[in-house]
Amino acid sequence: MRWGLLIVILLTAFFTLLPEPEAAAQLPSQNFVIRNVRLFDGDKIHPSTDLLIEGGVIKLIKEKINNRRNFSEIDGDGKTLMPGLVDAHAHVWGDALTQAINAGVTTELDMFSMPQLISPMQQQRDDNKNTAQADVFSATILATAPNGHGTEYGFDIPVLTGPTQAKDFVEQRIKQGADYIKIVYDAPDSPYQFSPSISLETLTELVKQAHIHNKLAVVHIDNLKSAKQAVRAGVDGLIHSFMDAVADDELAQLMQQNHVFFIPTLTVEASLAQVMPDQSLLGDLVLVDYINAEQMASLKAPFMNLGFKPSDLSKAKQSVKKLHRAGITILAGTDAPNPGTAHGISLHEELRLLVEAGLTPLQALKAATSNSHNAFNIGYRGTIAINQPATMVLVDGDPTLDIMRTRHITAIWKNGQWFERVVTKPDNSVTPAISAGLIADFNQQTISTFWGEGIEATNDNVIGGHSTVSVLLNQSEGILNVSGEVKKGFTYPWAGVQFFTTKKPGQAMDLSQLQTLEFRAKGNISTLYVMLFQKGSYQPVVQSITLSKDWQTHSVKLSGFTNADLANVTALTWVASQTLQTFEFAIDDIALR
Amino acid sequence: MNATQPTTVKLLPIYWLESKMEVLKMWRSPGFAISSLLFPVMFYTFFGLLFTMNADNMSTYLLATYGTFGVIGPALMSFGVGVAVERGQGWFDVKEASPMPASAYIIARIAVSLVFSVAVIMCLFTLGATFGDVKLLQSQWLLLCIVLMLGSLPFCAIGLAMGLSLKSNTAPAVVNLTYLPMSFLSGLWVPINMFPETMQNIAHFLPPFHLAQLALKVIDMDIGGNVWLHFGALLAYGLVFFALAMMAYNKKDKS
């Protein structure tokens, strides 16, 4: 019987020694169960299932989970759980990544940023405590020709003049943390020649070098001809649908054979074709609370007119339809924050446009999840599966049937942590409406204004441009002389003067009760641009006036600042812009009527 | 009262003694001891620890299924092969003629089956906990062990039926040919949801599938069937095969 006792002791010891799961109490909110939810895991739909999330990681996906540790439960009935969305084309700086996650976009693939800005953000993506912003992958600096597309933003970037530089270029990018290589290419005989392009040989060599280093090469193109040449050069993905022609069988076949994916970025194509974002986006009550002023201004900003008409957009859409039917993988990307687009929110618009182009809602959802997951080396992102961080979005309704339901977000989790969405509250900090009156008559000893924070010089140096300006008060005449030179550097170079209605952060002046901005001006340039800035946005709304060499009184209708929120004005500027030139103008008697 | 009491008092020591001897006998026959311990441990090491397809969850999942595999082995072998061989050697007839009650014979073999089950389970648990990063609540470890041990009883009945029907020279082959494919088809070696649909449907008719699902339920990794359905299926199999065993036993007596 002593043997029996020994065995009992041994067995007890054995079972006491077996390891137990760590106490999950440290992160209580990262332990929960979702019940009876429709699950779209990035690939397939599970009509009704439970999920158990523990320590921020998805531990179980199955029906009727036994919640034996009493984790809090979320009822998923009537809702759909999908992976955090992936925007396959964005440009990330500032608080792009918080804007993205606020709309359920938990991963952004950056397609051109300066390494010193993007690299700290790239490093955060593998930190599971990084739960308040989207993850970013980046191409860092894009490959382009001298003065080619990408050089106009004022950054001093390395450019390529021939194939021999490709090896060094690619190695430098990888050293700087590039997750893939982005190239800008335009065929020598393409219908558009917006800017110089690298040669086909350079493109081919860049792709080769990228592949040697096990990186994807994706290429920006804007026409059919360039698309075909790029695919023949061996690229992995084409960026942007094009509006010169609809994709033909040859391109479809080429892309099929070479397994090339396609990021059509219909959102920015629409903006390029001068189509305003759909009212369903701007006016959607479900969304509008989650769009901040910067996003709203970016959405409303018009794209520079390059000669595309709204009807050209249908070609871009037909190309998507054609290539999709041919089995080409489509990835959802927005090119935010270009004019007409905004981080996060625009991906929902991209999904709508993809469905309009001919994808089913389910296929569109794949384009924003598993397709990016499969195309790019981005880890688990874009999928929901066991043993990976719970980065997912819960929406009301069934977006696999109605794509508009992606906007009805009821919860967002990043690495299992519930993300509290930032609501843009109606702002009450606006001072009482400004009544009509003079702003400045320049008859004082100094440059001063009757209200507001004064007038001062402004130029594009703040954003990396090289324009110059000097402002001089002509006391004898009681006028303000402004002179300088608009120089190449920033895409939209400018120089002139700026009137701040207020400089207190988060404040703005209410000009909504007023009709016109009046001033006297003369100058040696033909066009003077009057720009209006709104709170929370760096993008101005612009009107232009024609200057003459003699004094003239100009009256600018405030209602002519299209889509501007006149109740939230922070500044007005008078600048020379667009044309590179030296300029000189004088201004006097500025008033609001 | 006086007539029955002495027999009941003496029954327990008989059971204990017979069980002890039987366990000792089996322990000393390496063919049985090694194969019933080695196979589950070896398979689990390969498929549950070394070549797992996705990290720790696989080790946990396969701990339950190889545990099932591990406990039904001794049950089928001890009864199926053991009984058939002893019948062939004439040892079964000697035992039958001895004053020992028949129940002691069966209980001793159940004891063998349970002792080896515990040994297999402890080996697998140790491996899983040490090398597979398997972490379960204390209650889950214990419950898994108990479910697996009790779950081996229907397989004792199946083994007994086979042992009483099969000839001694064919028994090992037939038992193994039942044991191994049945284990595979029940999803004991690879998770059931990796099978094509038709194979998954076949599994529902196999007893190891139901035991595996009960074991997986303990660790929340089953396919979501009803506990009582699995339990009922195992009970039904146990009763049917026990009845078959009784029939085979009676037939043998008459011949």
In chain A, where are the structural domains located? 82-418, 437-592
Please tell me chain A's helix, strand, coil percentages from 3-state DSSP, rounded to the nearest 5: 25, 25, 45
Interchain pair A62, B134: CB under 8 A: no
Interchain pair A21, B136: CB under 8 A: yes
Residue B229: Cβ within 10 Å count: 12
Interchain pair A18, B118: CB under 8 A: no
Q: What is the pLDDT of residue B224?
A: 75
Q: Which residue of A has its CA nearest to B137?
A: A20
Measured CA to CA, the distance from residue A574 to residue A579 in angstroms comes to 15
Measured CA to CA, the distance from residue A402 to residue A463 in angstroms comes to 41
- A11 shares contact with chain B (CB less than 8 Å): yes
User: How near does any CA of chain B get to the CA of A285, in Å?
Assistant: 40
Domain ranges of chain B: 5-254
Q: What is the pLDDT of residue A534?
A: 82
User: How near does any CA of chain B get to the CA of A121, in Å?
Assistant: 28
User: What's the CA angle centered on A97, arms A93 and A99, to 5 degrees?
Assistant: 105
Dihedral sign, Cα of residue A470, residue A475, residue A476, residue A480: positive
Interchain pair A66, B220: CB under 8 A: yes
Q: Which residue of A has its CA nearest to B16?
A: A1
The shortest CB-CB distance from B224 to any of A14, A15, A62 is to: A62
Kindly list the residues from chain B whose CB atom is less than 8 angstroms away from the CB atom of residue A15. Answer: 138, 141-142, 145
Token representation of residue A24 = 């999950």
| Of A133, A136, A140, A152, the residue nearest A111 (C-alpha) | A140
User: How near does any CA of chain B get to the CA of A149, in Å?
Assistant: 44
**Residue bearing tokens 């900003």:** A301
Element (H, E) at A494: strand A494-500
Q: What is the pLDDT of residue B1?
A: 44
Dihedral sign, Cα of residue B189, residue B193, residue B195, residue B201: positive
Interchain pair B137, A21: CB under 8 A: yes
Interchain pair A62, B135: CB under 8 A: no
pLDDT at B54 over 70: no
Q: Which residue of A has its CA nearest to B127?
A: A18
The shortest CB-CB distance from B224 to any of A14, A19, A63 is to: A63
Query: What pLDDT tens digit does each residue of chain A (593 aa) get?
Result: 677 788 888 888 888 888 887 654 444 468 899 999 999 999 999 999 999 999 899 999 988 888 877 888 999 999 999 999 999 999 998 889 999 999 999 999 999 998 988 998 999 998 888 899 999 999 999 999 998 898 877 678 899 999 999 999 999 999 999 999 999 999 998 888 888 999 999 999 999 999 999 999 999 999 999 999 999 999 999 999 999 999 999 999 999 999 999 999 999 999 999 887 766 666 666 777 888 888 888 888 888 878 888 889 999 999 999 999 999 999 999 999 998 899 999 999 999 999 999 999 999 999 999 999 999 999 999 999 998 999 999 999 999 999 999 999 999 999 999 998 888 765 545 555 677 788 888 888 888 888 888 888 988 877 767 889 999 988 888 899 999 999 887 777 889 999 988 776 667 788 888 889 999 999 999 899 999 988 766 678 889 899 989 999 999 998 888 878 888 888 899 999 888 889 999 999 999 88
Kindly list the residues from chain B whose CB atom is less than 8 angstroms away from the CB atom of residue A11. Answer: 118
Q: What is the pLDDT of residue A24?
A: 44
Interchain pair B136, A52: CB under 8 A: no
The shortest CB-CB distance from A387 to any of B55, B122, B141 is to: B55
Q: Which residue of B has its CA nearest to A65?
A: B220
Asked whether the beta carbons of B124 and B41 are under 8 A apart, the reply is yes
Please state whether beta strands A392-396 and A79-83 pair in parallel, antiparallel, or not at all (unpaired).
antiparallel
Measured CA to CA, the distance from residue A564 to residue A532 in angstroms comes to 8
- Terminus-to-terminus CA distance in chain B, angstroms? 37
Interchain pair B221, A62: CB under 8 A: yes
The shortest CB-CB distance from B129 to any of A18, A64, A68 is to: A18
Contacts 24+ apart (CB under 8 A), A407-413: A407/A284, A407/A286, A407/A287, A407/A348, A408/A286, A409/A103, A409/A104, A410/A79, A411/A74, A412/A84, A412/A101, A412/A104, A412/A106, A413/A53, A413/A84
Q: Which one-letter DSSP state was computed for residue A584? A: E
Interchain pair B125, A16: CB under 8 A: no
Q: Which fold has domain A82-418?
A: TIM Barrel (3.20.20)
The shortest CB-CB distance from B57 to any of A15, A18, A386 is to: A386
pLDDT band at B22 (very low <50, low <70, confident <90, very high): confident
Measured CA to CA, the distance from residue B60 to residue A531 in angstroms comes to 65
ipTM higher than 0.90? no
The shortest CB-CB distance from B135 to any of A20, A52, A62 is to: A20
- Give the pLDDT confidence of B197-249 residue by residue, as tens digits: 888 888 889 999 999 999 998 988 888 788 899 999 999 999 999 999 988 88
The shortest CB-CB distance from B135 to any of A21, A62, A66 is to: A21
Q: What is the pLDDT of residue A27?
A: 43
The shortest CB-CB distance from A60 to any of B125, B142, B220 is to: B220
State mean pLDDT over B102-111. Answer: 87
Measured CA to CA, the distance from residue B201 to residue B218 in angstroms comes to 22
Residue A79: Cβ within 10 Å count: 20
Kindly list the residues from chain B whose CB atom is less than 8 angstroms away from the CB atom of residue A20. Answer: 135-138
Q: Which residue of B has its CA nearest to A387?
A: B57
User: How near does any CA of chain A get to the CA of B133, in Å?
Assistant: 9
- A126 shares contact with chain B (CB less than 8 Å): no
- A2 shares contact with chain B (CB less than 8 Å): no
Q: What is the pLDDT of residue A53?
A: 93
Residue contacts between A and B (CB atoms, under 8 Å): 47
Asked whether the beta carbons of B63 and B44 are under 8 A apart, the reply is yes
Please tell me chain B's helix, strand, coil percentages from 3-state DSSP, rounded to the nearest 5: 80, 0, 20
Phi then psi for residue A28, to 5 deg, are: -60, -35
Measured CA to CA, the distance from residue A423 to residue B89 in angstroms comes to 84
Interchain pair B142, A15: CB under 8 A: yes
Q: Which residue of A has its CA nearest to B133?
A: A19
The shortest CB-CB distance from B138 to any of A20, A52, A65 is to: A20
Q: Which residue of B has its CA nearest to A68?
A: B220
Interchain pair A15, B134: CB under 8 A: no
Measured CA to CA, the distance from residue B116 to residue B122 in angstroms comes to 10
Which residues have CB under 8 Å from B232's CB, separation 6+?
A: none
- A20 shares contact with chain B (CB less than 8 Å): yes
Please state whether beta strands A494-500 and A455-459 pair in parallel, antiparallel, or not at all (unpaired).
antiparallel
Q: Which fold has domain A437-592?
A: Jelly Rolls (2.60.120)
In a mutagenesis test of the B interface, which of A10, A17, A18, A49 is the best target, namely the one with the most B β-carbons within 10 Å?
A: A18
Element (H, E) at A521: strand A516-523
Residue A314: Cβ within 10 Å count: 14
B138 vs A31, A443, B124, B141, B189, CA distance in Å?
Answer: 20, 87, 16, 5, 25
